[in-house]
Amino acid sequence: MNSSSKPKKGRGTKAASPAIAHVIMAATIVSVGISVLYWSNGNFNSHKRQASTFFSTSTEAMKESLVIEDIWFYEDSGKYVNITVRNVGKVDLEVAHIYVNSERVWDDGQLIMMGEAVTIKAALSWEAGEHYIVVVTTRGNHAHEWYDV
C-alpha cells in the first residue's frame, strides 16, 4: 500500500473552538441589535415629529373658517371679479388661491384677521352665465359658491 494514498493530517486545519465561535456569534448579534435599536429610535423620533406637526397644523385648520359674502363681476378697462371673503373662524387665515370655473385667477396671498372681511379683485375674462368660485386658504380649507352673471 502506498503511503501517499492515506489522507494527511495537516497543521492548522482545525476550526475554532465552539467557545470562540459562540463569542463571535454573540458579539455579532449584539452589534446588529444595537444598530437596529439606533435605527428604530431615529425612525420613531422622525415619525413622532411628523405626527406632531400634522396634528398641530390640523388643529389650526379646524379652527379656520371662511365664507364668501359677496361676488360681483364688472367691466372697468377690462373684465374683473370682486370677491368679498369673511374670516368667521377662531384663527387668522391667509387666502392662497381663487379659482373661477376651475381656472386659477388669483394667487397673491391675502391675510384676513379673525372676524374681518376683505374684498379681493381678480382680472377675469368672464361671460354671462353661471360661474363656480372657490377660495382656498394656505391650510387647505376652502369656501365655494355658484354665481350667475
Q: Taking a C-beta distance cutoff of 8 angstroms, is the pair 65, 118 a contact? A: no
CA distance 149 to 82: 13
What's the confidence (pLDDT) of residue 2? 56
What's the confidence (pLDDT) of residue 95? 97
What's the confidence (pLDDT) of residue 141? 92
H-only helix segments in 11-83: 18-63
Split the chain (149 residues) into runs of 10 and give each run's mean pLDDT: 56 69 90 91 86 75 91 93 95 96 95 96 93 95 93
Write the Ramachandran bin of 109: left for phi over 0, alpha for psi from -120 to 50, otherwise beta.
left
**What sign does the CA torsion over 121, 127, 130, 136 have?**
negative
Class of domain 65-148: mainly beta
What's the confidence (pLDDT) of residue 78? 93
Residues 6+ apart with CB under 8 A from 91: 60, 63, 64, 114
